[in-house]
């Protein structure tokens, strides 16, 4: 009996690891891909350090500018009636002295979204932030650029390119 349990564990554990590895997001030819969440994000070309495999799904930190990008998708765990404003507030926890510069509702293919640009402070540092919360079907996509004010223009174009290509989010209108 004990040998049967060991045998099952011996074969079951590697299979679980393999399935979990396949389900998680991964990097492929300059793109972050997580098929379980419908997430395909082209990565900026140069100057960014990339972290995956944690929450959020994807973290990019610029090597020479004070800037970073967070990308996270949640599928199936979000109540369909939850307002996007609530999800956006969760994305911005920890930011002090918020001054909203832009807030717009977006039409997204098969869903909706909110875009927000704001100024704020975190840990004594002044930041410019550009955030998107997009909902499509059972998934909620959250993308956030945070940067020092002097770096914002240089990195925002790369961020916008990523947002436009998020699989499952469709075209922003």
Tens of pLDDT along 67-101? 999 999 988 877 667 788 888 888 888 899 999 99
Run of H or E including 39: strand 39-42
Distances from the Cα of 2 to the Cα of 7, 14, 97, angstroms: 9, 19, 61
Query: pTM for the complete prediction?
Result: 0.80
Q: Is-contact 84 114, C-beta < 8 A?
A: yes
Q: Where are the domains of the chain?
A: 26-164
> Which CATH number applies to 26-164: 3.40.50.1000, 3.40.1000.10, 3.40.50.300, 3.30.70.2200?
3.40.1000.10
Residue 1's beta-bridge partner residues? none
CA-based nearest residue to 78, from 94, 92, 93, 90: 90
Tens of pLDDT along 4-63? 434 444 443 343 333 334 447 899 889 999 988 888 889 988 899 998 877 899 999 999
Q: How many whole angstroms separate alpha carbon 158 and alpha carbon 44?
A: 6
């Amino acid at each position: 009996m004990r040998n049967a349990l060991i045998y099952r564990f011996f074969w079951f554990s590697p299979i679980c690891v393999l399935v979990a590895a396949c389900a998680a997001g991964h990097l492929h030819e300059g793109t972050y891909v997580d098929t379980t969440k419908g997430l395909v994000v082209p990565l900026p070309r140069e100057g960014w350090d990339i972290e995956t495999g944690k929450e959020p799904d994807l973290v990019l930190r610029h090597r020479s500018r004070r800037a970073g990008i967070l990308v996270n998708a949640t599928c199936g765990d979000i109540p369909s009636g939850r307002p996007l404003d609530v999800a956006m507030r969760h994305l911005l926890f920890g930011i002090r002295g918020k001054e909203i510069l832009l807030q717009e509702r977006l039409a997204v293919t098969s869903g909706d979204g909110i875009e927000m640009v704001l100024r704020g402070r975190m840990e004594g540092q002044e930041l410019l932030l550009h955030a998107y919360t997009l909902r499509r079907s059972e998934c909620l996509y959250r993308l956030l650029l945070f940067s020092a004010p002097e770096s914002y223009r240089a990195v925002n174009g790369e961020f916008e390119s990523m947002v436009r290509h998020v699989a499952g989010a469709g075209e922003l209108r």
